[in-house]
Structure 1
Amino acid sequence: MTTQDYVLRAEDLELLIQAIRVRGHQVMGPTVKNGAITYGEIQGSVDLPQGWSDQQEKGYYRLASNHSQAYFAYAVGAGSWKQFLQLPRRQVWEARKTDGGLNFVEVVDVAPRVAFLGVRSCELHAMEIQDRVFSGAQFQNESYAERRGNAFVVAVNCTTPAATCFCTAMKTGPKVSSPADLTMTEVIGSDEHYFLIKSGSQQGSEILGELPLTSATERERKAEEGALHDAVQQMENGPRQFDNSDVKDLLYRNYESPLWDQVADRCLSCANCTMACPTCFCSTVEDTTDLSGDNAERWERWDSCFTGEFSYITGGSVRPDTKSRYRQWMTHKLATWHDQFGSSGCVGCGRCITWCPVGIDFTEEIHKMREMEQS
């Protein structure tokens, strides 16, 4: 394993993808589908969103041509990588009636060998957060743990943040700081197009050994630094920058703030924010029986703290209205998550802002909360 920077020519990106695939990995990466950049299986570089960027704002997403040959000139995909780790729906067990009674059979989840290509720094931090939830010492989700263990990660430094991004406020990007098998930065100019690439694992080093690489020069490293610096400046000078150092205490102090009623007047409790979020992990189980009563199945699927049934116990729902559900989501994400898992539950990817149909932006809500305290 080496942390030395190398240069991979853009035309040789295909060789990297095929070197990963030949090792038995199913490569998942960004691709254009249904008018958005989403994550799905790719066969080669031709499947990547070359020449495409994304425009994101409150309740707004559009694809746009960037008039270049860049492969990774977007912020984050519409969905997140958690769909391949914490499956949206999976069968847990099945039961069949026999002459001797009921026969229960556990459904074993076979995890494929996958490679994630194009993982941003914020998304790597999201995976680490979910690792603490699903692979902690006390409780483990075996399906998640096996899938995570089989994943080969190719991270790509983000140089084109969206208007909704605020990873700098959350200290999660845009430069990759978490472990990855390979880390790349795309650099494109008027007459050059290449990737700075380095390995972070033995398997990553082996793949690099099969590629036509050259050692990175000081000029090429400075080009990378400049692109990342511009990305940082874009976010720090943007409207979604905020002081994250005391948000936990801010939310605890304002648990009964009138701000929650104002948000509730707009929120639809649609759960879009939690479905798009790369760290939200709530799930439920469903039991089904066929008409004969001889066969039954249990399935685990994603759920959300915004649904009425999620907090239902004997006598009713613990959080019966939109106000209590939005407050639960935001305070858990930014405050109680610290007490529960030792970090914030937000990585600043901005998906909850983009995919909210009424354009609720919790960075704005934080600013409003501070203003209410000071008035």
Structure 2
Amino acid sequence: MAKADEAAAVITVEGLQDLLRAIRARGYRAIGPTLQNQAIVYDDIESIDDLPRGWTDEQDGGLYRLTRREDEALFGYSVGPQSWKKFLHEPRLRLWTAERRGEDTSVTPEAPPSDRLAFIGVRACEIRAIEIQDRVLVGDLYVDPHYKARREGALIVALNCGKAGGTCFCVSMHAGPRVKHGFDIALTELLDGTEHVFLVETGSDEGRAILEQIPHDLASSREVDAAEAVIAQTASSMGRQMRSDDLNELLMNNLEHPRWNEVATRCLTCANCTLVCPTCFCTSVEDASDLTGERAERWRRWDSCFTMDFSYIHGGSVRASTKSRYRQWMTHKLATWIDQFGSSGCVGCGRCITWCPVGIDITEEVCAIRGCDASAEESV
């Protein structure tokens, strides 16, 4: 599990509480999974009592519900409707404020945030999604200063998945379930009926400094093997599969495939899939002013390629049909994203399947274009 020169540690459930306390003491705002509105969502946490102890989720196409587990796992779910994108690439952000005083007008850009965030329970697929957004928003000539400030100050407490969701296919996208890099601290939750502990790995100097502040023991070979078994079991129980080695060529060679017409009869163009996706980054800007005309603001908000206005230019929308908008989303996510950024834009989290009101399944659509039986689709 851990690097060859770093031994894994073990902490108890009480040790996890100590970990949260140490993180907060270092000036971080701790954010993690909480139970709200019959879903697991990310929000501020102060203690392990805020975590979804003993709860899990059931997911399928267009279906999400919480159910009780038979144990007291703190992270015994897959992923909820939100991703960490909500905190790094905010849904709505004021960009600047303009004020007029007589003949003078001043424009004040919105200052980048200064608070430091600690993300608790970040899955491997979500770390991969953050890396993809890094490439888009700070990895090129034009840098988003607000994203950059959030990202540089963030502490990542990762989690090796102990449960695959019904719509997960991260193995197919080489994005999980094992956390390999991009973390400060990584946890694996271990429950065997008598013992409830966490295997801990560190991936940065900050992570090592935090671990040194809390009680911990050196992990035994039995505990390391148990963590390996948890990850292996999760990898072997994916809810979906999708061959991913040839997606760019497959989709670009089938832009007029009849399946695009078929899926368009079901798609509501509601944009749910893009809003829950951890990598989608499209935005629009809105200007607003007060009634006196003395103050104006520009706001950036999430947008979606599924909305008619998103591709509007003088004379109308470039993608007026449902078919063209669904095709744009799927081909960009799985194919032309590779041309733009060097990787797929999909991490296999399955959110787009779960939160589609009519249960459209991206893995099924790929399989249909490939001309295969969905039950026989294999990951590569």
TM class, shorter-length: over 0.9
User: Which of 123, 128, 132 does residue 129 from structure 1 map onto?
Assistant: 132
2:358 is aligned with 1:322: no
User: Which of 17, 20, 23 does residue 17 from structure 1 map onto?
Assistant: 20
Could you tell me how far apart the structure 2 residues matched to 1:178 and 1:126 are?
13
Q: Percent identity?
A: 51
2:265 is aligned with 1:270: no
Q: Secondary structure of 1:229's match?
A: helix
Q: Which residue of 2 aligns with 1:144?
A: 147
Q: Secondary structure of 1:159's match?
A: coil
**Is the 1:51–1:66 Cα contact (8 Å) retained in structure 2?**
yes
Q: Which residue of 2 aligns with 1:288?
A: 288
The structure 1 segments of at least 4 consecutive aligned residues displaced by more than 3 Å after TM superposition are none
User: What does residue range 140-219 of structure 1 map to in structure 2 within 5 Å?
Assistant: 140-219=143-222
Query: Is the deviation greater in 356-365 or in 97-106?
Result: 97-106
Letter of the 1:149 counterpart: E
Q: Which residue of 2 aligns with 1:29?
A: 32
Q: How much has 1:8 moved relative to structure 2?
A: 0.6
User: What does residue range 1-375 of structure 1 map to in structure 2 within 5 Å?
Assistant: 3-235=6-238, 238=239, 240-371=240-371
Q: Secondary structure of 2:309's match?
A: coil
Q: Secondary structure of 1:160's match?
A: coil
Q: How much has 1:105 moved relative to structure 2?
A: 1.7
Which runs of no fewer than 5 residues in structure 2 stay unpaired?
374-380
Q: How much has 1:111 moved relative to structure 2?
A: 3.3
Q: Deviations for 1:66-118, whole angstroms, at most 9, x for unmatched residues? A: 02111010101220000000011011111122222422221213231110000
Q: Secondary structure of 1:167's match?
A: coil
Could you tell me how far apart the structure 2 residues matched to 1:349 and 1:80 are?
10
Q: Deviations for 1:151-173, whole angstroms, at most 9, x for unmatched residues? A: 00000000101010000000000
Letter of the 2:8 counterpart: D
Q: How much has 1:202 moved relative to structure 2?
A: 0.8
Which runs of no fewer than 5 residues in structure 1 stay unpaired?
none
Q: Deviations for 1:239-290, whole angstroms, at most 9, x for unmatched residues? A: x212111111110011011111111100011000000000000001000122
Could you tell me how far apart the structure 1 residues matched to 2:307 and 2:291 are?
28
Could you tell me how far apart the structure 1 residues matched to 2:6 and 2:42 are?
27
Q: Secondary structure of 1:234's match?
A: coil
Letter of the 2:32 counterpart: G
Q: How much has 1:55 moved relative to structure 2?
A: 0.6
Could you tell me how far apart the structure 2 residues matched to 1:178 and 1:218 are?
22
Could you tell me how far apart the structure 2 residues matched to 1:55 and 1:111 are?
37
Could you tell me how far apart the structure 2 residues matched to 1:101 and 1:270 are?
43
Q: How much has 1:372 moved relative to structure 2?
A: 7.5
TM-score (norm 2): 0.95
Q: Deviations for 1:129-149, whole angstroms, at most 9, x for unmatched residues? A: 000001013110000000000
Q: Secondary structure of 2:210's match?
A: helix
Q: Deviations for 1:172-219, whole angstroms, at most 9, x for unmatched residues? A: 000001220001100101111110001111111111111211111111
**Is the 1:3–1:200 Cα contact (8 Å) retained in structure 2?**
no
TM-score (norm 1): 0.96
**Is the 2:181–2:203 Cα contact (8 Å) retained in structure 1?**
no
Could you tell me how far apart the structure 2 residues matched to 1:146 and 1:187 are?
34
Q: How much has 1:18 moved relative to structure 2?
A: 0.3
